Structure 1
Amino acid sequence: MLRILSLKFGRVYRCGKFLFIVALFVILLMNTHNLFASFQRNELTDRRFIGLNKCPACFGTSWCRKFMNGQVTFEMWGRLRFLDFFNVKNVFFAQYGEPREGTRRVVLKRLGSNQELAEIDQKICKRATGRPRCDLIQSMYKTEFARLNGDVRLLTPEVVEGWSDLVHCPSQRLLDRVVRRYAETKDSGSFLLKNLKDTERMQLLMTLAFNPEPLVLQSFPSDEGWPFAKYLGACGRMVAVNYVGEELWSFYNAPWEKRVDLAKQLMDIAEQLTNNDFDFALYLLDVSFDNFAVGPRDGKVIVIDAENVIVVDKRLVKQNKPESYDVWYESRYEECDKEACLSFSKDILCSRVTVDHNYYAVCQDLLSRFSSWRGSTGGLLHDPPPDVVKDGRLIALLDECTRPQKRYGRFQAAKELREFLTQLTQTSNADR
């Protein structure tokens, strides 16, 4: 019976695959004219396509000259607009060329789906006119994004608190850092808000409210050792970041030694974002295999999606001393039937000095046997060699890091797991 069912399922699968290919071929034939036109023109020089016509209701203009000069071009498949149907996240791969430096690969992001971008337009219109449609440019000057114009000196927590994850619990020190490192202005380096132009202030505030990822990348840049993709610039509603490499998911079935090295790097990232010399704790709220990438040359793991990151100023927490601020906070494991599940309280993350959230997120959603992604279970460290299984230490540490059985067990397990993965990496290198 099972044999018959498997044969039937195989036939259905092959039939469905054939029909999909036929349908795709028909679509190509119907769009032949548009297909050739797509390869002949560079849509990244079109003001409407990149959303430049919507500024200052946009993310910036620092890279507009490069876009308009044709220095940024889609890679082959990115030029086919009918494929946008499958590109829900609006992430594109492109080539950026400089006369003296040659070309390099970059990633372009619209920072939201088409629906999300349309919703932000409607919100701006409703706040300004009470109607869902309006003259977007004029309406921007009637919203809260324009209220900080004039002689306002500082961007303060009272104004933007809760706008997005980045500023769920902001400190003045964090906001000064955001303004000072804002790359979409010629006067970067000053934390005084009044030194920005009116349009630049509105663009900064809109980015902060809609999708603060560019501000995270600018405030905690890769050039200073932070594990994020490098921010390059923006034009309208198109943001450019450095291409890192293939997604972490591509290494799910890599050789054991490679996966151990990647796992160690992930735990190092969790530690760096939790404890650093700057006393800023950056907690990753969205942890999945698609949100990390691996450099093709150095094999370095980098965070490539920083939209959902809470930044907590530990100095402010120590200063204000909210209730239980000095009590170590343990994230609670909860079973979930969805992929990449995490249980957390933003308010608690913001009110404690010592938090294990990043260790919990990496262990549960990426490394341990409790991890689930795209129908696969077992995590990045699945199927360890027999000697590692026999030793039992790795599995025990991963289990304690995910579902601690002892009080503060995750903190100790994360520390020991980093050390053990380092030993495994060194042993693998010595055996080569």
Structure 2
Amino acid sequence: MLRFLPLKPSRLYRCVKLLVALGVSVVLLMNTHTLLAPFQKNQLTDRRFLALNKCPACFGTSWCRKFTNGQVSFEAWGRLRLLDAFNVKNVFFAQYGEPREGARRVVLKRLGSSQELADIDQKICKRATGRPRCDLVQAVYKTEFARLNGDVRLLTPEVVEGWSDLVHCPSQRLLDRVVRRYAETKDSGSFLLKNLKDTERMQLLMTLAFNPEPLVLQSFPSDEGWPFPKYLGACGRMVAVNYVGEELWSFYNAPWEKRVDLAKQLMDIAEQLTNNDFDFALYLLDVSFDNFAVGPRDGKVIVVDAENVVVADKRLIRQNKPENYDVWYESKFEECDKEACLSFSKDVLCSRVTVDHNYYAVCQNLLSRYATWRGSHGGLLHDPPADVAEDGHLEAMLEECANPRKRHGRFAAAKELRDYLTQLSGATAR
């Protein structure tokens, strides 16, 4: 006669645990091929993964041969698509190999979240057909991105003004520079649109409207000393740029001497982007610790996110002479309870010759006591050595640079701070 003994709670728990473990093991065994597939195949050779099938509603094709030849591959866990849910910015690290040069690290960007990319597809379809879904390749020829097809000579401000931060207030001189340096064409070097193919023009306009970062990197290249990564190329909706190094946040608790050097470089960047021989002012609208990186060998600070950059043509401002164009503009300090806050007016940035915005952004969000990031307060120059802290001079300069009390105080404090950090760097180097 069979007897059924009641299971104790502890024994029941162990049985359930065993059954769950067995179930998971079975599922893993049944899906081994699916789970390992990303590690067995280079996904960056897949046209659909790159969204190459959506061109010319894409960012370019100059690097497609490198992708399809397998010269670019994801690093380690970057191959596992399950992790994409946590990679909201769609930024990936990869290895790029040249037969004679060996492999080097690059950064791949989709230039937007998956939702943002889906939204742009939907907008293109709605404008072309009135429906949210359509044949995207056919639809893009019926949008404003195709407006300049044909024998059009110039890309003019009236066509693209306000599309993105880069062209919030474009001058003809800026747009000629953008077209002349456009790297997604074999016939680069001319500012005439008619020298571009129809598909290349649409790709340029698509990039300009969706995320102009690649055009900023091409128009103000690192080879000329601009503080941006080197633009390498694009394939479909994947853009490749040179890997710079670890993000600035990694150096938040670095030795004082290192932080002084980084702070000096940040102020130098603010000065360079504000005043340069080209008479273009590049104003950084998104200044935070994760938008800068530091080179592992040369220790050079680079702006690694150039999506939100307003470019003002100072020559055009002097020529047009809008109201108060020659009055020095001082950005208004505002405290807030969020990270990386900035207060600014794009229209003002575009209508004044002398603006302190970049000094304000760097001092408030990166260097001073007002800088907050990932729960930390105090900025990159926190906890100075006793001999620096005693006289209070550094603290006073940072305070005036972030939250000035005097008229034109931030301009003076920024210059004084740059000189002071240069002296500190020299002293620590000896």
SS at match of 2:142: coil
State the alpha-carbon separation in 1 of the partners of residues 124 and 61 from structure 2.
20
Q: Aligned partners of 2:310, 2:328: CA distance in 1, in Å?
A: 18
Aligned length: 407
Unaligned runs of 5+ residues in structure 1 are 1-21
Could you say what secondary structure the match of 1:126 adopts?
helix
Deviation at 1:32, TM superposition (A): 3.9
Worse-superposed segment, 122-131 or 308-317: 122-131
Paired with 1:181 and 1:349, the residues of 2 have a C-alpha distance of: 24
**Alignment partner of 1:141: what SS?**
helix
Amino acid in structure 2 at the alignment position of 1:289: F
Q: Which residue of 2 aligns with 1:80?
A: 80
Q: Which residue of 2 aligns with 1:406?
A: 406
d(CA) in 2 for partners of 1:207 and 1:85?
24
From the CA coordinates, give the structure whose radius of gyration is larger: 2
Deviation at 1:48, TM superposition (A): 0.4
1:293 aligns with 2:272: no
TM-score (norm 2): 0.93
Secondary structure of residue in 1 paired with 2:363: helix
C-alpha separation in 2, matches of 1:375 and 1:336: 14
Q: Deviations over 1:96-141 (max 9, x none)?
A: 0000111100000000000000000011111111111111000010
CA distance in 1, matches of 2:311, 2:213: 12
What residue number does 2:420 align with? 420
2:96 corresponds to which residue?
96
- Sort the Cα spacing of 1:110 and 1:379 in 2 relative to 1 into closer, same or farther, 3 A: same
Q: Which residue of 1 is the match for residue 309 of structure 2?
A: 309
Letter of the structure 2 residue corresponding to residue 425 of structure 1:
S
Cα distance between partner residues in 2 of 1:100 and 1:73: 17
Partners of 1:28 and 1:35 within 8 A in 2: no
| Cα distance between partner residues in 2 of 1:206 and 1:228 | 21
1:207-242: per-residue Cα shift (whole Å, max 9, x none)? 000000000000000000000010000000000000
- The one-letter code matched in structure 2 to 1:80 is L
Aligned to 2:108: 108
Distance 1:141 1:86 in 2: 34
Q: How much has 1:35 moved relative to structure 2? A: 2.6
C-alpha displacement at 1:29, in angstroms?
A: 4.5
Residues 170-209 of structure 1 correspond to what in structure 2 (within 5 A)?
Answer: 170-209=170-209
- For residues 2-21 of structure 1, give each alpha carbon's deviation from its aligned partner in whole angstroms, at most 9, with x where no partner exists: xxxxxxxxxxxxxxxxxxxx
Q: Which residue of 2 aligns with 1:210?
A: 210
Q: Give the whole-Å Cα distance in 2 for the aligned partners of 1:249 and 1:180.
A: 35
Q: CA offsets per residue over residues 182-214 of structure 1, 9 Å max, x none? A: 000001000000100000000000000000000
Give the AA of the match of 1:173.
Answer: R
Tell me the equivalent position of 1:48.
Answer: 48
| Cα RMSD after superposing both structures | 1.4
CA 1:26–1:79: 2 relative to 1, 3 Å = farther
The within-5 A match list for 1:265-284 is 265-284=265-284
Q: 1:191 to 1:336 in 2, by over 3 A?
A: same
Alignment-derived partner of residue 264 in structure 2: 264
Output the CA distance in 2 between the equivalents of 1:37 and 1:47: 17
Shift in CA distance, 27/230, structure 1 to aligned 2, threshold 3 Å:
farther
Q: By how many angstroms is 1:27 displaced?
A: 13
Q: Secondary structure at the match of 2:420?
A: helix
Q: Secondary structure at the match of 2:218?
A: helix
CA deviation digits over 1:313-344, x for unaligned, max 9? 00000000000000000000001111000000
Which string of whole-angstrom CA distances, capped at 9 and with x for unpartnered residues, describes residues 136-162 of structure 1?
000010000001011110000000000
Q: Partners of 1:417 and 1:191 in 2: how far apart?
A: 40
2:355 corresponding residue in structure 1:
355
- The AA in structure 2 aligned to 1:108 is L
Residue 372, structure 1, aligned to residue 380, structure 2: no
- 1:34 Cα deviation after fit: 2.4
Post-superposition Cα deviations, 1:65-96, rounded to whole Å, max 9, x if no partner, equal: 00000000000110011011110000000000
Report the secondary structure of 1:50's partner residue: coil
Residue ranges of structure 2 left out of the alignment (5+ in a row)? 1-20
Q: Aligned residue for 2:244?
A: 244
Distance, in Å, in 2 between the alignment partners of 1:202 and 1:249 is 37
Report whether the alignment pairs 1:166 with 2:192.
no
SS of corresponding position for 1:261: helix
Specify the code of the residue in structure 1 equivalent to 2:346.
K
Matched, 1:340 2:325: no
> Corresponding residue for 2:13?
none
Q: Which amino acid aligns with 2:247?
A: E
* Separation in 1, partners of 2:360, 2:35: 47
Preserved CA contact (<8 Å) 1:229 1:303: yes
